[in-house]
Structure 1
Amino acid sequence: MRLRNKPWAEDRLNDFPQYVIQQPVSHKGKWHEVFGNDNPLYIEVGTGKGRFITEMAKAHPDVNFLGIEVYGSVIVAALDLLIEAEVPNLKLLNVDAANLGDYFAKGDVDRVYLNFSDPWPKTRHAKRRLTYKTFLEVYEGILPEKGEIHFKTDNQGLFESSLKSISEYGMLLKFVSLDLHKSSFEGNIMTEYEEKFSSKGNRIYRLEALFQ
């Protein structure tokens, strides 16, 4: 993915501490204080421009949401969307997913969403995939017992490797769809990429898995 550099992005993110968490390590083990309630916390790793997480927050006001994106030049678009939407149960976090254990204690997060992650198709790049075993270890470390991962992609190769990685890790697959938009699944909220790819006739794959 080629990103357009936005040198002003960091300053803009810092200008809105009410939406963008500035010192996440200080909230480890007490994220309920950030939102001012004890509602479940769902995170999206790789939130991109924020359409999915914003619409989820609108649809589920009794759940807290956190959109996580490593690229500042991307998450500023999610910030603009959040400012416009004015949903109190959504915050943003500009950090690397590999370091989530630094910011969240065991059980801080109730569900992890992974949507249209970079497929990293070359074998030598497999460790960079967000469903690789080292990332699964990170998610397990911040989710409660039987915590869930919900994953969507249009990339068949990534989906197949993710199924293999998740199964080999010992997780339980509770839902698998090889063509989401032709399934009976209800309540699907599309991401920007999902709308783009599905309009071209691409099949959308989805799974739900839980740690045992």
Structure 2
Amino acid sequence: MHIRPKPWARPELEACGFFQAYPPDHRGQWQPLFKKKQPLHIELGCGKGTFIAALGSRHPEINYLAIDLIDAVLGLTKRNIESAYTNKNRAIDNVQIMSWDIERIDMILAPDDGVERIYINFCNPWPRRRYQKKRLTHSKQLEKYKKLLSENGEIYFKTDNDDLFGDSINYFEAAGFAVTTLIPDLHAADYPGNIETEHEKMYAEQGIKIKFLIATIG
């Protein structure tokens, strides 16, 4: 994702009550940051935050962590979350956002955090073979997620990229996950409860099929 620098982003984030400037400080201790202890779900690569804003504001019974690397993007995430919660007249008490390299996710989350679900939406497909280990669904990463997920934990994955989707199915199986839901055309299937992301809407308008799966720890 290419995004212009936003000088206002970091100061806004630093002043934001639901932004964590140094996530490793909370490894194994995320629940106390929320109003109450509830199931914990995370989004990896949250982008501008339209997905997590809609999800969190609709589901006050779940606690959410949203992770991205770029401050300029997270500044937009913050604003989108604030807008979504204001529209529902809700306090922002079940979502936390942070800037972090997802390849080092084991430095900010621990098995004790009890993550029940991970969302990965439209991540970089890294098509060149030499870079494919950078994929968020690569087996190398999945092994890290397995250690963080609770019993029967699951991963929800959406992409527009056919090659990434096919390879990811193999990655999940190789890492010991069971693919329990597999939908090659999400919009045609009219899957209940789907929240359309910004990228999803753009690709769907171009006639590109949105691929979706759910993988569960086997």
Give the TM-score, by structure 1 length.
Answer: 0.94
For 2:174, which of 168, 183, 191 is the aligned residue?
168
Paired position in structure 2 for 1:88: 93
Deviation at 1:146, TM superposition (A): 2.2
Q: Residue type of the partner of 1:78?
A: T
Kept after mapping to 2: 8 A contact 1:9/1:76:
yes
Q: How many Å separate the matches in 1 of 2:36 and 2:93?
A: 11
Q: Runs of 4+ in structure 1 displaced over 2 angstroms?
A: 5-12, 83-88
Unaligned runs of 5+ in 1: none
Q: Residue type of the partner of 1:101?
A: D
CA-based RMSD of the aligned residues comes to 1.4
Report how many residues are paired. 211
Task: Calculate percent identity across the aligned residue pairs.
Answer: 36
Paired position in structure 1 for 2:145: 139
Q: How many Å separate the matches in 2 of 1:113 and 1:50?
A: 12
Q: Which of the two has greater strand per residue?
A: 2
Kept after mapping to 2: 8 A contact 1:177/1:207:
yes
1:23-172 to structure 2, matched below 5 A, reads 23-86=22-85, 87-108=92-113, 109-172=115-178
Deviation at 1:184, TM superposition (A): 4.3
Q: How many Å separate the matches in 2 of 1:24 and 1:54?
A: 20
SS in 2 for 1:145: strand
SS in 2 for 1:39: coil
Q: How many Å separate the matches in 2 of 1:153 and 1:164?
A: 15
SS in 2 for 1:37: coil
Deviation at 1:172, TM superposition (A): 0.5
1:4-59 Cα shifts (integer Å, max 9, x gaps) = 2234432222121x121123222222211000312011110000000111111122
Q: How many Å separate the matches in 2 of 1:52 and 1:107?
A: 26
